[in-house]
């Protein structure tokens, strides 16, 4: 491996995430607020994790550690795995036409990517950061330094859910170790690091909550971030009055997380088109 490869954006982002995760965890475990003052017992409280350790209750801190490790492993899995790249081998013009005719109705001709020179399947999009076309493209996540697409989107949602649990638990642990007292200079020296950790966890918790809520909404309606934001620019959605891929909450969730019922997006789009035409004819 070339030395400059170690300084690539992906390596730097993932290393930063790993260091930040374990750094915050160490602060929550090891932060020492000093010996309690008998005259002011709340001046130097012992953080809950330390209390559990001293009382011999190892299950809560062990569970917290396992959740942190699980969230980190999920993060690495989502950031390193193939999000659903379209085969980069360009197809001969004749084969491409045959595939297009077999896969989709002529009403939605597929586009050939001007960067990859491949025939893009329905719901695919070219990512300029990854320099590849991604199936069921959702977005490019700079915190992952990877695209979120057809293959890793379910794991991305699972990561957000687990990460939010860890963040909220960490937020509770940090707040439980904070007790404000005067003089403020003494408090800042004893609890300044824990207070900074609390603020950082608050910011991350808010971001993770908003992300998880938005993605659960999108999954429930079987749409993607790109389609939700840019539906007016997408050829297969521009003329539609409703989402052609929405098959109801239960089937959307089953297909997203379990791959059932299986079927191509082209088939779902064609079925939706037929339903819309039937609805228009009945209205007339």
Taking a C-beta distance cutoff of 8 angstroms, is the pair 122, 108 a contact?
Answer: yes
pLDDT at 99: 47
- For residue 113, indicate whether it is catalytic: no
pLDDT at 106: 52
Q: Output the six-digit token pair for 10.
A: 């992906």
Phi, psi dihedral angles at 126 (to 5 degrees): -80, 130
* Residue in 116, 141, 147, 258 annotated catalytic: 141
Q: Output the six-digit token pair for 80.
A: 């390193």
Q: Is this model's pTM higher than 0.95 or not? A: no
Cis amide linkage into residue 183, ω under 30° from 0: yes
d(CA 150, CA 85): 9
pLDDT at 161: 98
pLDDT at 191: 83
pLDDT at 279: 57
pLDDT at 219: 97
Q: How many CB atoms lie within 10 A of CB 92?
A: 8
d(CA 202, CA 196): 10
Note down pLDDT in tens along the chain; length 284 residues: 455 556 788 899 999 999 999 999 999 988 764 444 444 444 455 667 777 777 777 888 899 999 999 999 999 999 999 999 998 765 555 454 444 444 445 556 678 999 988 999 999 999 999 999 999 999 999 999 999 999 999 999 999 999 999 999 999 999 888 877 768 788 788 788 888 999 999 999 999 999 999 999 999 999 999 999 999 899 889 878 889 999 999 999 999 999 888 788 888 888 766 666 555 555 55
């Amino acid at each position: 491996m070339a030395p400059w490869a170690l300084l690539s954006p992906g390596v730097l982002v993932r290393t930063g995430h790993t260091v930040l995760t374990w750094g915050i965890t160490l602060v929550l475990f090891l932060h020492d607020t000093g010996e309690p003052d008998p005259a002011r017992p709340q001046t130097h409280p012992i953080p809950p994790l330390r209390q559990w350790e001293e009382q011999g209750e190892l299950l809560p801190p062990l569970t917290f550690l396992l959740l942190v490790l699980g969230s980190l492993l999920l993060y690495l899995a989502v950031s390193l795995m193939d999000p659903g790249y379209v085969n980069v081998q360009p197809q001969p013009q004749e084969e491409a036409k045959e595939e297009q005719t077999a896969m989709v109705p002529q009403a939605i001709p597929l586009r050939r990517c001007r960067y990859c020179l491949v025939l893009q399947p329905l719901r695919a999009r070219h990512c300029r950061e990854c320099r590849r076309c991604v199936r069921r493209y959702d977005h490019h996540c700079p915190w992952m330094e990877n695209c979120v697409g057809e293959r890793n989107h379910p794991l991305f949602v699972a990561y957000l859910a687990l990460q939010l649990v860890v963040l909220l638990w960490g937020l509770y642990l940090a707040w439980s170790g904070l007790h404000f007292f005067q003089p403020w200079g003494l408090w800042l020296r004893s609890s300044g690091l824990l207070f900074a950790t609390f603020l950082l966890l608050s910011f991350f918790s808010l971001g993770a909550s908003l992300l998880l809520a938005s993605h659960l909404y999108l999954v429930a309606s079987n749409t993607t971030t790109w389609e939700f934001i840019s539906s007016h620019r997408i050829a297969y959605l521009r003329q539609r009055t409703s989402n052609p891929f929405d098959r109801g909450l239960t089937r959307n969730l089953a297909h997203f997380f379990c791959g059932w019922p299986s079927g191509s997006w082209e088939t779902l789009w064609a079925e939706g088109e037929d339903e819309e035409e039937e609805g228009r004819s009945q209205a007339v």
